[in-house]
Amino acid sequence: MIDIKLIRTNPELVKENIRKKFQDEKLELVDKVVELDKQYRETKVECDSLRNQRKVKSKEIGGLMAKGQKDDAEKVKAEVSELGKKLEEMEAREVELEGDIRKIMLVIPNIIDESVPIGKDDSENVEVEKFGEPAVPDFEIPYHVDIMEKVNGIDLDSARKTSGNGFYYLCGDIAQLQSCILSYARDFMIDKGFIYYIPPFMIRSDVVTGVMSFAEMEGMMYKIEGEDLYLIGTSEHSMIGKFIDTIIPEGELPKTLTSYSPCFRKEVGAHGIEERGVYRIHQFEKQEMIVVCKPEESMDWFHKLYSYTVEFFRTLDIPVRTLECCSGDLADLKVKSLDVEAWSPRQKKYFEVGSCSNLGDAQARRLGIRVKGDDGNKYFAHTLNNTVVAPPRMLIAFLENNLNEDGSIRIPKALQPYMRKEIIKVPEKK
C-alpha cells in the first residue's frame, strides 16, 4: 500500500506506474481516491469543528447554571444535544470514507523501482546472470518421479487415496534427502548471521491482507472453516506478521530471520496441479529468509538475499541463473523481484526454484510496522523475503543434476555430513 500523500501530491506518477504494470483498468481508482480523500479531510475538519463547538457550549451551560439562568442553560443543552447528533453522523461518515479509501488503496499497485524492466508478463522477464555450466549427460534423464520411484522414494498412488492429486508420500532415502537439504539450508543461513525460527502455520485475516494482495490471497490461501485463520502459503506470511503494530528501535535493525515451515497452496490458475509430479502441489516444505530494515538499506539486502540462494544451490552442484521480473510480472506489493532458476538437464532449460522480493514499505504500511529513529521520528520499515530452498521442487533439480546413468544419485560434499553417505543406490531387485 502506497502513501496517500503521494496520490494527493502526484497522482500522475501513480497513474504512470499503473500503466507500466499494464493495469489500465485501475487508473480510475486514483481519481476516485483523490475525491474520497478530499471528502474525508473535509469531513474530518467538520468533525473537529463540531467537537470544538460542543466543548464551548458545554462550558457555557455550567456558567449559566451558576448564574441561575436555568432556561437559558436548557436551551444550550438542546443545542449541545443537536451538535452531538450531527457529530455522531459525521464521525460515522468519516469512518466510512476512511474504510472506502483503504479498500481502494489496497488494490493500487506499489511504485516499482526505476530499474525494473518494463514488460507485460513473465515472457518478458530478463536474464541477469548464469552460475555454473549447464550440462546434459550422454544418457537420458528420466522424469523426476521415475527417478524417485527407482530408489523407492515416492508413493503418489497412496497419496491420491488419502488426499487426492497434489499430494505425495516421500519415503526412504528421498524423504531423508529432503529433510537433510532443509537442515543444511537452516545451518547455511544461521552461518550467514540469520536467526532461525519455526513460526505458526496459521495466521489471522488481518495478517493475510497485510502481507499479500487480494488476488494472491484468493488464488493461494486455504481458510479454516468457522475460524479467522488461514493456512500459510509460505513462512514469510507469519514471519512478517510477527511485527504487526510494532515500533522497532532503529538500533535493532536490520532484523535478519530464516524460517522453516510447511506451505499450503490452492494453486488456482492456468498451471493447475500435476497429475504425476511434485513441481506444482498443494503441500510442500520451505526454508525462507526475511529481512526488516531501514529504507536506504533495502536494495543492498535485496542483492545479498538472492546471492545467498545462488551460493546455496552451487554448493549442491546445481547450475542456476537469475531472472529479473518485468513490471507486468510483479505482484502489486513488490518494488522489485528476481527469480532464481535451476538448470534441468532433462528439459534442457531453467525452471524457477526461488524468488527474492523487495516490498519497500508496502507490507509495513499495511501491518503498522514502524521504526523509531535516534531522533525520535517514526517511519515505516522496508521488508524483503527470499526463498533459500523449497523442496520437493528443488529435488527435481537436485536429482537431475546429480543422477548417475545406473539410476543412483550422487550426494555433493556439502550434504554428505547430513546424509551420512556419498550416494543413494538403486535397491537390488528381490
Tell me the per-residue pLDDT of 336-383, one tens digit each, with 9 for 90 and over.
999 999 999 999 999 999 999 999 999 999 999 999 999 999 999 999
Q: What is the pTM of this model?
A: 0.88
The yes or no reply on domain 122-424 and CATH 3.20.20.70 is no
Chain-centre distance for alpha carbon 301: 16
Give the Cα separation of 357 and 112 in Å (integer).
11
Chain-centre distance for alpha carbon 150: 37
N residues, the chain = 430
Q: Where in the chain is the domain with CATH 3.30.930.10?
A: 122-424
Per-residue pLDDT of the chain (430 residues), as tens digits, is 899 999 999 999 999 999 999 999 999 999 999 999 999 999 999 999 999 999 898 888 888 888 888 888 888 889 989 999 999 999 999 999 999 999 999 999 999 999 999 999 999 999 999 999 999 999 999 999 999 999 999 999 999 999 988 899 999 999 999 999 999 999 999 999 999 999 999 999 999 988 887 667 777 889 999 999 999 998 999 999 999 999 999 999 999 999 999 999 887 554 555 556 787 788 899 999 999 999 999 999 999 999 999 999 999 999 999 999 999 999 999 999 999 999 999 999 999 999 999 999 999 999 999 999 999 999 999 999 999 999 888 999 999 999 999 999 999 999 999 999 999 999 987 7
Q: Where in the chain is the domain with CATH 1.10.287.40?
A: 4-105
For the stretch 40-44, contacts whose Cβ atoms lie closer than 8 Å and that sit 24 or more positions apart, written own/partner, are 40/94, 40/97, 40/98, 40/101, 43/90, 43/93, 43/94, 43/97, 44/94
Specify the CATH class of 4-105 in words: mainly alpha
Closest CA to 238 of 256, 264, 261: 261
Give the Cα separation of 283 and 279 in Å (integer).
11
User: Within 10 Å of residue 217's Cβ, how many Cβ atoms?
Assistant: 17
376: three-class secondary structure by DSSP: coil
Asked whether the beta carbons of 238 and 200 are under 8 A apart, the reply is: yes
Q: 252 in the Ramachandran plot: left (φ > 0), alpha (ψ -120 to 50) or beta?
A: alpha
Burial of residue 302 (number of CB atoms within 10 Å: 0-12, 13-18, 19+): buried
